[in-house]
Chain A
Amino acid sequence: MDKPVNNRAWFLVLPVLVLVAFSAVIPLMTVVNYSVQDTFGNNQFFWNGLGWFQEVLESDRIHAALGRQLLFSAIILAIEIPLGIFIALNMPKRGFWASLVLVLMALPLLIPWNVVGTIWQVFGRVDIGLLGHTLAALGIDYNYVNDPFDAWATIIVMDVWHWTSLVALLCYAGLQSIPDAYYQAARIDQASRWGVFRFIELPKMQGVLLIAVLLRFMDSFMIYTEPFVVTGGGPGNATTFLSIDLVKMAIGQFDLGPAAAFSLIYFLVILLISWVFYTVMTAQKDTP
């Protein structure tokens, strides 16, 4: 990893810098600007100091949304990571079937997020959806529109449906990199199936698993479109996650100040997790 030092490489990076500055830095500065000011309309702004930050940090509504968000992300990780590993271990290793399975598994990942929401919204309806209809026929009182528990269950199953394949694909890529010699050695040692998993496969998957955990955490932490389409944040506020709350505040009610303060805090959390992510990703690259 001894690359030559060459500061003229900056010229190659410059286009990216300009473009991303336009699409990230300028908007972010607007947010910073709003977060410390108050307005009574007519484009008249007043200095408000840290008032909005205080309001956001003390808001019960946002605390509740954060709590729901953390719970959601925790449930998602607890289901998708083990399930993804399990699926990856069972995927065919090579040949036509491996390719076909790979393609079919990736299918949910390529569906527009609002269509994912639509699919499950329809699928779960008692009158016209297969899932809702089946559950109702089994005598289960299922209604994701009125019942908070059913709404949560629907959104979690939807997310598992949508993203477990990502975890499985990453683990599969990790498994593919294990040389056959390892398995042969294990067979000579008469290692059990569990032993092979615990001492060969799991350590070799460690890197990809970390990526999978972080990606799933980040993406579930900012989930917006899918629950918005299925439940719209309801019933009540039962499925109002951070992004849904933020969009309601910023675009629905146009509460610029609090929304901006909220955004910045949200962004700082993301920044922190990104840093962990970056450290993990680059550490891995240096020790192949």
Chain B
Amino acid sequence: MTARRASIGSAVVMTLYLMFLLVPIYWLVNMSLKTNAEITGTFSLYPLNPTLNNYRVILTDPSWYMGYVNSLIYVVMNTALSLAVALPAAYAFSRYRFLGDKHLFFWLLTNRMAPPAVFALPFFQLYSAVGLFDTHIAVALAHCLFNVPLAVWILEGFMSGVPREIDETAYIDGYSFPRFFTRIFMPLIASGIGVAAFFCFMFSWVELLLSRTLTSVNAKPIAATMTRTVSASGLDWGVLAAAGVLTILPGALVIWFVRNYIAKGFALGRV
């Protein structure tokens, strides 16, 4: 009897909490389906005359949709780059002890923890000096600051779950290291690679300060495009809301696949 009451209590708590989480998002979706006249003129809990016009504006105007393209380009570049360098390093950390390993592992962590605000100005100057300012690769490299450590830590967490006997058996069977790594080891930690990729993608996608500082026109991310619109006109609420909804979609679409590893990813592979 008490168990039954407890589960009803849980259901109520969870319903309230999820409502708290979802209502602000719903409000954004709601606004994105209204015209500006309806947003400012009448107050309604749902769109009275639903319109997809705001989305049409974004998807037909290059200065809007190129923001998404730019963001996607540097995010994908960053994810590929981060994983490519993090995989061997994570393997080294999980399998061997070597001179300075602990210090190095700690130093990586400090980069994940470093405030982007500290790096904004030096990045700006560094990438201007080497002629990379306003390119996608500049943002991709800058985001490596926090994504490479993240990927190394997550992958190390997953790799440590694979027994070392597997490596040893493979070496005895005559596998070379590269062949063992790509043919046997990587399939074993496929879910770990997926999770690391997801988190690199995500943290690069949600970041604004560095990507805004390092770009002006050619590589301007969608996040920066949005802030410009807010300050300039402060009027086009519908389009702004639609742009916001479109930035939520990528994460929302793939999250189902990593749902069981979300906690592990956010805790840098340590749960």
Which residues from chain A sit less than 8 Å from chain B, CB to CB? 3-10, 12-13, 15-17, 19-20, 22-24, 26-28, 30-31, 86-87, 89-92, 99, 101-115, 118-123, 127-131, 133, 161, 165-166, 169-170, 172-174, 193, 208, 211-212, 215, 218, 221-222, 224-225, 229, 242-244, 246-247, 250-251, 256, 259-260, 263, 266-267, 270-271, 273-275, 277-278, 281-282, 284-285
Contact = CB atoms under 8 A, between A and B. Distances in A.
Given A20-B149, A90-B17, 10 more contacts: A13-B93, A24-B111, A102-B259, A107-B255, A112-B206, A119-B25, A119-B27, A133-B43, A170-B267, A247-B117
Task: Say which size band chain B's interface belongs to.
Answer: 35 or more
Contact of B115 (A111, A113, A243): A243
A14 B84 CA distance: 12
Main secondary structure on B side of the interface with A: helix
Contact of B116 (A5, A6, A224): A224
B149 A6 contact: no
A277 B113 contact: yes
Interface in B113-145: 113-126, 141-142, 144-145
B20 A174 contact: no
Nearest to B270: A281
B263 A112 contact: no
B247 A115 contact: yes
Contact of B213 (A102, A251, A267, A285): A251
Contacts of B247: 111-112, 115
Given A7-B98, A13-B104, A222-B116, A122 B40 contact: no
Contacts of A19: 81, 85, 141, 144, 148
Given A119-B27, A211-B270, A108 B21 contact: yes
A51 to B, nearest CB: 19
Q: Of A16, A26, A86, A243, which is in contact with the most chain B CB atoms at under 10 Å from its CB?
A: A16
A123 B28 CA distance: 8
Nearest to A265: B118
B121 A16 contact: no
Contacts of A22: 141
A107 B262 contact: no
Contact of B244 (A115, A211, A281): A115
Contact of B96 (A5, A115, A128, A281): A5
B167 to A, nearest CB: 11
B170 interface: no
Contact of B108 (A3, A16, A174, A212): A16
Most buried by B among A30, A110, A113, A247: A110
A130 to B, nearest CB: 5
B22 interface: yes
